[in-house]
């Protein structure tokens, strides 16, 4: 497994759990030293235990040496990053191609090179070309096997996938992939074989569709807010339609994370390269970008129009709950906009503060949610961590300078908030007054 990041580490540990012998290779020597020392470099529920169990069983090990990892492997997975290229927004494939070159130099005997990284259509062809240039005699099959795991639920997603997609037209490669995933298919996981290019498109199209669903409900939430309807009722009402489904219909501050923003941009750019402008994706990207600043304006409006010189408490920094991943988190542009408007920001996140401190200037980090609220003019919920659903509301009210909560994840109940005497602003839901709450 080349690359021991969120995907490589989870996939490597899960494949070991399925009974395979896995070596995770990463260039980051600190990460490998930490893993060898029994530390888990990322926060992902259940991952530390999974790694420990498989290391103890001698099925999983870590190295910086590609030869040790790939030389005798039946399959070498590429799970390195594919960030947006700063110059043009296309997927930066330099890590993938570097990994392919390194693999080509060390493999021995028939080897599968399996792309787990999310890559634009046609990348598998380029990997095959790179390998053939370096080792014309090498006996390899280049396979696409995109990963659909979600951070925060990554192990469950890998072990009980909705589907496993494998792109190859090579019968021998197909057999190896069937064997690799046999423990999962035996439990009913669908294994879908496609052409390599089809598998590459499936991954981008799936992410784009999910981002579209989020963006759609966000716009419907804005309509509900103006029209006096409740978006939670609307989302429930449309989600019961099997053609739509209930998931990804939770309104919020805009999608973020390490995948959707870069993958939508890469799909858009790839489309243009093929002479196919995908206008819907272009619009989704633009709506989502504007939403983050709009959320800051919503907070400022809730505070009466000015936050200059005031302290705003922020609960949640990561792009979603149950991860420490801060990549493209909406919290960053929202907090920056609050600072631009003259506020002092104090923030708390259960897992993301270390990563956040490298991305945000002049934010005071609090040790818990209550400290975060102390003397603040408003408390803003940006990430849906479970612990924020059960806060002691009376205690919070005593600590805040003003009893104002802006909940950009709709995790609290308007009626409860009114009963406790809060001014409560959420997304796409009518305000409940204390009189209505009784």
The three state secondary structure string of the chain is CECCCHHHHHHHHHHHHCCCCEEEECCCHHHHHHHHCCCCCCCCCCHHHHHHHHHHCCCEEEECCHHHHHCCCCEEEECCCCCECCCCCCECCHHHHHHHHHHHHHCCCCEEEEECCCCCCCHHHHHHHHHHHHCCCCCEEEEECCCCCCCCCHHHHHHCCCCEEEECCCHHHHHHHHHHCHHHHCCCCCEEEECHHHHHHHHHHHHHHHHHHHHHHHHHHHHHHHHCCCHHHHHHHHHCCCCCCCCCCCCCCCCCCCCHHHHHHHHHHHHHHCCCCCHHHHHHHHHHHHHHHHHHHHHHHHCCCCCCCCEEEEECCCCCCCCCCCCCCCHHHHHHHHHHCCCEEEEECCCCHHHHHCCCCCEEECCCHHHHHCCCCEEEECCCCHHHCCCCHHHHHHHCCCCEEEECCCCCCHHHHHHCCCEEECCCCCCCCHHHHC
State yes or no: residue 95 binds ligand NAD (CB under 6 A). yes
Q: Which range in 5-13, 278-286, 291-299, 353-361 contacts ligand NAD by CB under 6 A?
A: 5-13
Q: Taking CB under 6 A as the rule, which mask of x and - marks residues 279-318 in contact with ligand NAD? A: ----------------------------------------
Please, what is the minimum distance in Å from the beta carbon of residue 123 to ligand NAD?
Answer: 10
State yes or no: residue 98 binds ligand NAD (CB under 6 A). yes
Interface positions, 149-208, toward ligand NAD (CB under 6 A): 149, 151
Scanning the structure block, which residue is given the tokens 């029994």? Answer: 38
82: nearest Cα among 104, 35, 130, 115? 115
| Among 1, 6, 296, 345, interactor with ligand NAD by CB under 6 A | 6
The dihedral sign for the CA sequence 304, 307, 312, 314: positive
User: Which residue number, 163 or 395, has a Cβ lying nearer to ligand NAD?
Assistant: 163
Q: Which range in 32-40, 77-85, 351-359, 429-437 contacts ligand NAD by CB under 6 A?
A: 77-85
User: Which residue number, 258 or 288, has a Cβ lying nearer to ligand NAD?
Assistant: 258
Indicate left, alpha or beta for 19 from its phi (over 0: left) and psi (-120 to 50: alpha): left
Q: Which range in 93-101, 164-172, 276-284, 385-393 contacts ligand NAD by CB under 6 A?
A: 93-101
State yes or no: residue 259 binds ligand NAD (CB under 6 A). yes
The Cβ of residue 321 has, within 10 Å, a number of other Cβ atoms equal to 21
State yes or no: residue 333 binds ligand NAD (CB under 6 A). no
State yes or no: residue 114 binds ligand NAD (CB under 6 A). no
User: Which residue number, 2 or 382, has a Cβ lying nearer to ligand NAD?
Assistant: 2
Alpha-carbon span 109 to 401, nearest angstrom: 69
State yes or no: residue 117 binds ligand NAD (CB under 6 A). yes
Instruction: Give the length of the chain.
Output: 438
Please, what is the minimum distance in Å from the beta carbon of residue 117 to ligand NAD?
Answer: 3
Structure tokens at 393: 């509301």
| Among 118, 145, 318, 426, interactor with ligand NAD by CB under 6 A | 118
Q: How many residues bind ligand NAD (CB under 6 A)?
A: 27
Please, what is the minimum distance in Å from the beta carbon of residue 228 to ligand NAD?
Answer: 37
| Residues catalogued as catalytic | 259
Please, what is the minimum distance in Å from the beta carbon of residue 27 to ligand NAD?
Answer: 4
Alpha-carbon span 151 to 11, nearest angstrom: 12
Q: Taking CB under 6 A as the rule, which mask of x and - marks residues 23-52 in contact with ligand NAD? A: --xxxx--x---------------------
Q: Which range in 19-27, 122-130, 345-353, 416-424 contacts ligand NAD by CB under 6 A?
A: 19-27
State yes or no: residue 82 binds ligand NAD (CB under 6 A). yes
Interface positions, 122-151, toward ligand NAD (CB under 6 A): 147, 149, 151
**Orientation angle between helical segments 196-227 and 123-134, nearest 10 degrees:** 150
State yes or no: residue 7 binds ligand NAD (CB under 6 A). yes
Please, what is the minimum distance in Å from the beta carbon of residue 70 to ligand NAD?
Answer: 10
User: Which residue number, 82 or 141, has a Cβ lying nearer to ligand NAD?
Assistant: 82
Please, what is the minimum distance in Å from the beta carbon of residue 323 to ligand NAD?
Answer: 8
State yes or no: residue 61 binds ligand NAD (CB under 6 A). no
State yes or no: residue 80 binds ligand NAD (CB under 6 A). yes
Q: Which range in 22-30, 105-113, 137-145, 349-357 contacts ligand NAD by CB under 6 A?
A: 22-30
The residue with its CB nearest to ligand NAD is 5
| Among 3, 120, 252, 403, interactor with ligand NAD by CB under 6 A | 3
Structure tokens at 176: 């190896």
* Binding positions for ligand NAD, rule: CB under 6 A: 2-8, 25-28, 31, 79-82, 95, 98-99, 102, 117-118, 147, 149, 151, 258-259
């Amino acid at each position: 497994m080349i690359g021991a990041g969120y995907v490589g580490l989870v996939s490597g540990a899960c494949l070991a759990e399925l009974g395979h012998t896995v070596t995770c290779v990463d260039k980051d020597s600190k990460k490998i030293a930490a893993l060898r020392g029994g530390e888990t470099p990322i926060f992902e529920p259940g991952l530390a235990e999974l790694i420990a169990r498989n290391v103890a069983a001698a099925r999983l090990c870590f190295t910086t040496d590609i030869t040790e990892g790939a030389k005798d492997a039946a399959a070498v997975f590429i799970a390195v990053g594919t960030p947006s290229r700063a110059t043009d927004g296309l997927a930066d494939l330099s890590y993938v191609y570097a990994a392919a070159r390194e693999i080509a130099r060390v493999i021995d005997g028939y080897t599968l090179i399996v792309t787990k990284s999310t890559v634009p259509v046609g990348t598998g062809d380029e990997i095959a070309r790179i390998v053939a240039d370096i080792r014309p005699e090498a006996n390899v099959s280049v396979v696409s096997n995109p990963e659909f795991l979600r951070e925060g639920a990554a192990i469950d997603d890998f072990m009980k996938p909705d589907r496993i997609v494998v792109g190859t037209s090579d019968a021998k490669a197909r057999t190896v992939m069937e064997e690799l995933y046999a423990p999962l298919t035996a439990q009913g996981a669908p294994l879908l074989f496609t052409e390599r290019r089809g598998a590459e498109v499936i991954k981008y199209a799936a992410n784009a569709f999910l981002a579209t669903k989020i963006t759609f409900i966000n716009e419907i939430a804005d309509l509900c807010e103006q029209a006096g309807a409740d978006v939670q009722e609307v989302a429930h009402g449309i989600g019961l339609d099997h053609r739509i489904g209930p998931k990804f219909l939770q309104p919020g501050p805009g999608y973020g994370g390490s995948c959707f923003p870069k993958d939508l941009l890469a799909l858009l750019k790839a489309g243009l390269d093929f002479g196919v402008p995908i206008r819907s994706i272009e619009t989704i990207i633009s709506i989502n970008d504007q939403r983050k600043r709009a959320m800051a304006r919503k907070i400022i409006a809730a505070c009466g129009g000015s936050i200059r010189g005031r302290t705003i408490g922020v609960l949640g920094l990561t792009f979603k709950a149950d991860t420490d991943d801060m990549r493209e988190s909406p919290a960053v542009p929202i907090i920056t906009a609050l600072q631009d408007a003259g506020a002092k920001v104090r923030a708390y996140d259960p897992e993301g503060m270390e990563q956040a401190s490298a991305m945000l200037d002049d934010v005071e980090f609090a040790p818990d949610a209550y400290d975060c609220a102390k003397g603040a003019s408003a408390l803003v919920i940006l990430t849906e961590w479970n612990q924020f659903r059960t806060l002691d509301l009376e205690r919070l009210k005593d600590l805040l300078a003003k009893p104002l909560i802006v909940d950009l994840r709709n995790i609290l109940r308007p009626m409860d908030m009114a009963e406790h005497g809060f001014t409560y602003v959420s997304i796409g839901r009518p305000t409940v007054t204390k009189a209505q709450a009784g």
